Chains A and B, each alone.
Chain A
Amino acid sequence: MIGLVLLSAPLVRAETTRPLTDQYIEAIRLGCSNALQSMRQIQRVEAVTRVNRGQEYEGMLKLVSALNSRIVLNKQDAPRLTSAASQMQTTFTKFQRDYLEYAEKFDTAQRINCREAPVSFYDALNDMREARAVVATDVTTFSELLDEYQASFNEFRGLVPEASSQSRAEELDP
């Protein structure tokens, strides 16, 4: 009996900020078919974004890694550049992992029969949004690291306007 009362209680499950009312649950039930269609479209667009971002991040990591190597081969020291590049690599790995988690939660939400279980669907939708927010944070972090790299690069450029072109490879092979 208590279980029945709990199951039929009007305030079923909270979004993070407000509880779901009967009216809200009905709105989810009525609108979820259209919502699912929109979600599928968003999923496709964001999958493309993921691929494009991944390519750009990889390209950027190769570029900064090449400059860092060149600095080392010219016997210069740039710890801030090295540190920023290392953090960028870590953030990229995290971005890849977090995106997969987001995609997984997206699939979970879409598998739920939203007409029969609107509350579960809404819970899954909220989980998915939280996972998406984590991915968005990764994007911001990567962008901030690029700012940091740029600032460190400007500083390095001011300190070392020119350095020997003799690389270690050339030293080894005179």
Chain B
Amino acid sequence: MNWQNIFERIQRHTIIYGVIAALLIAILMTMVSMALYVSSGASRLDLSRPGYENIRAEVQSGREDNTFRANGPLNEAVYDDFQDRFTKRREVMQQLGDYRSTALNDRELQIAPSE
């Protein structure tokens, strides 16, 4: 079977081969997407995964704070405005977990022998 025959066969069954080609491209693109999703670490931060339904509500909706402009004058009012935004963000951060809880200690996990 030479290229001429292959070309004629494709021309005779354009729709079938078109569908097969579309499926192959879709599978390939999905594989590439999944590889990127896993390798970039996005999969570990994806809270839409199964098992995260109950906790998803605890994600704070992103507070876009774009109103502090990168240009303009410098004066007391601007400094106060900046300080206010800065302090508010720090307060929110202080309320978040800091990966220091003892929840992963042997005793908390109940894998330490009883004394």
Q: A residues bordering B, Cβ < 8 Å?
A: 21, 23-24, 26-28, 31-32, 34-35, 38-40, 42, 44-57, 59-60, 62-67, 69-71, 73-74, 76, 96, 100, 102-104, 122, 125, 128-129, 132-133, 135-136, 139-140, 143, 146, 150, 153, 157, 160-165, 167-170
Render B90-111 as a binary contact track against A, CB cut-off 8 A, 1 for contact. 1011001111100110001111
Residues of B contacting A128 in the complex (Cβ-Cβ under 8 angstroms): 104
- A-binding residues in B (CB < 8 A): 41, 44-45, 47, 51-52, 55-56, 58-60, 62-66, 68-76, 78-79, 82-83, 85-86, 89-90, 92-93, 96-100, 103-104, 108-114
Q: Is the CB of B111 within 8 A of A35?
A: yes
Dominant secondary structure at the B interface: loop
Shortest Cβ distance from B79 into A: residue: A157
A91 and B74 alpha carbons, distance in the complex (Å): 28
Residue of B nearest to A128 (CB): B104
**CA gap between A163 and B78 in the complex, in Å:** 11
Whether B108 contacts A70 by the Cβ 8 Å rule is no
Q: A50-B45, A69-B70 are in contact. Are A161 and B52 (CB under 8 A)?
A: no
Q: Which residues of B contact A48 (CB under 8 A)?
A: 47, 55-56, 58-59
Q: A38-B110, A103-B44, A146-B93 are in contact. List 6 more A-B contacts (CB 8 A).
A: A45-B58, A53-B96, A56-B89, A70-B70, A125-B109, A168-B71
State whether A70 and B72 are in contact (beta carbons under 8 Å apart), knowing that A27-B113, A42-B104 are contacts in the complex: yes
CB <8 Å contact, B65 and A24: no
Residues of B within 8 A of A55 (CB): 60, 62-63
How distant is A84 from chain B, measured CB to nearest CB, in Å?
A: 12
Complex Cα distance A38/B69, Å?
Answer: 45
Q: Verify A31–B52 contact, CB threshold 8 A.
A: no
**A52 in contact with B60 (CB, 8 Å):** yes
Q: A44, B68: Cβ atoms under 8 Å?
A: no
Q: Tell whether, in the assembled complex, residue A169 and residue B75 are in contact, meaning their CB atoms are under 8 Å apart.
A: no
Nearest CB on A from B56, distance (A) = 8
A134 to chain B, nearest CB (A): 9
Q: Is the Cβ of A63 less than 8 Å from the Cβ of B68? A: yes
